[in-house]
Amino acid sequence: MRMSTAAELGIRGMAYLARNYRNGPVPMATICREQGLPRQYMLKIFAALGRAGYVRTSRGKGGGFVLAHPPADISILNIMEAIEGPLALNFCQSKPSRCRWDSPNCPIQPLWNELQEFTSRKLGEFRLDRVNDVKNPSA
């Protein structure tokens, strides 16, 4: 059970934009250089984040990427779901019909429900304004 690489890199890129929110747009080349991220892949990931309305681009001199909302209005869950689709830790949470266990009486389903609920809540509560709590940023 693990996060997709795309979501992981998307979160790092968005965290970087959050830390630089008051400085205006940041070129992708800068984000990638400072954070050691792969440029072509990041452009695809940020395209998905743009379609979901979490990041905007501006062209020309001084252009680049900027958060489309204040950091406090964007959660880690928002970013993950924009990239991976709705959170579903397993088939039980996304396509319960694929399982032969009798769902209302399945003994394992409560475990998946609890993990899903906790994960969704924690990811939703964590907003990008918290990345400014960092004491000694390396970039």
Q: Binding residues for its own copies, per CB under 8 A?
A: 1-5, 7-8, 11-12, 15, 34-36, 76, 80, 84, 87-92, 94, 98-102, 105-108, 111, 114-115, 118-119, 122-123, 126, 130-139
Shortest separation between residue 10's beta carbon and its own copies, angstroms: 12
Q: Which one, 15 or 55, has the nearer CB to its own copies?
A: 15
Q: Which one, 43 or 108, has the nearer CB to its own copies?
A: 108
The total of other beta-carbon atoms located within 10 Å of residue 88's CB is: 14
Alpha helices, H only, 25-108 = 28-35, 39-51, 76-84, 91-94
Q: Which one, 45 or 131, has the nearer CB to its own copies?
A: 131
Shortest separation between residue 61's beta carbon and its own copies, angstroms: 27
Q: Which one, 27 or 63, has the nearer CB to its own copies?
A: 27
Who contacts 13 (Cβ-Cβ below 8 Å, separation ≥6)?
31, 35, 37, 42, 45, 46, 65
Shortest separation between residue 82's beta carbon and its own copies, angstroms: 13
Instruction: Assign 54 to helix, strand or coil.
Output: coil
Shortest separation between residue 102's beta carbon and its own copies, angstroms: 4
For residue 3, what are the CA distances in angstroms to 6, 83, 104?
Answer: 8, 11, 28
95's tokens: 């396509």
| DSSP state, residue 65 | E
